[in-house]
Copies of this chain bind each other. A is one copy, B any other.
Amino acid sequence: MSEFELDGRIARDSDLVTVLGLCQLRIQNDSRWPWLVMVPQRAGMTEIFELLPEEQALLSAEVNKVAAALKRVTGATKINVGALGNIVRQLHVHVIARFEGDPNWPGPIWGFGQAAPYDESQKQDFLNKLVEALS
C-alpha cells in the first residue's frame, strides 16, 4: 500500500486545522461560508465505501463530531455534509455551515462563484472557537 499524500488542489485550496484519528481537518480558503474539509489519511481512496469497515465508522464519527461543533460555534441554520469528488478524486468530505440568505442559499455551495479570501484574524478567531468546541 502506498503512502497517503494530500491532493495538490486540496492542499492549495485549504489549510490544515488539526489531525483527528483518521482525518485531516482542514478549512477551505473561502470566507463566504464556514467551510471545512475532512480528508481520511488513507492512500488511493475515492469512495467512502472503499475504506475498511472500521475506518468507515470512524469517518462517520469524526464527521458528525465536527458537524456538531461547527453548528455550535457558528449557530448555523443548517449543516451541509457532502462527499462529491467529481473534480478532486481523493476522498474528502465537506462540512459547511449554512445560513438563510448566504451565497446561493438554499442551493449547494459547490461550483458557485469565486472564493473570497479570509481576513486572517477573523479566520483565526473562528478556528480557535472550533478547536475548543472539538476538545
**Is A86 touching B81 in the complex (CB atoms < 8 A)?**
no
Q: A24 near B: Cβ within 8 Å?
A: no
Contact residues, A41-90 vs B (CB, 8 A) = 46-49, 53, 56-57, 59-61, 63-65, 67-68, 71, 77-87, 89
> In whole angstroms, what is the CA distance A48 to B62 when docked?
12
Q: Which of B46, B49, B111 contacts A108 (CB 8 A)?
A: B111
B60 touches A56 (CB 8 A): yes
The reply to whether A84 and B80 contact each other, CB–CB distance below 8 Å, is: yes
Cβ contacts under 8 Å, A81 to chain B: 48, 82-84
What secondary structure prevails in chain A residues at the interface with B? mixed
Number of interface residues of A (CB under 8 A): 35
Q: Bound state CA distance, A77 and B89, in angstroms?
A: 10
- A113 at interface by CB-CB < 8 Å: no
Quick one: which of A89-112 are within 8 Å of B by CB? 89, 98, 105-108, 110-111
Closest chain B residue to A65, Cβ basis:
B49
User: Which residues of B lie under 8 Å from residue A56 when comparing CB positions?
Assistant: 60-61, 64
* Nearest residue, chain B, Cβ from A100: B86
A46 vs B78: C-alpha distance when bound (angstroms): 8
Q: Which residues of A contact B (CB under 8 A)?
A: 46-49, 53, 56-57, 59-61, 63-65, 67-68, 71, 77-87, 89, 98, 105-108, 110-111
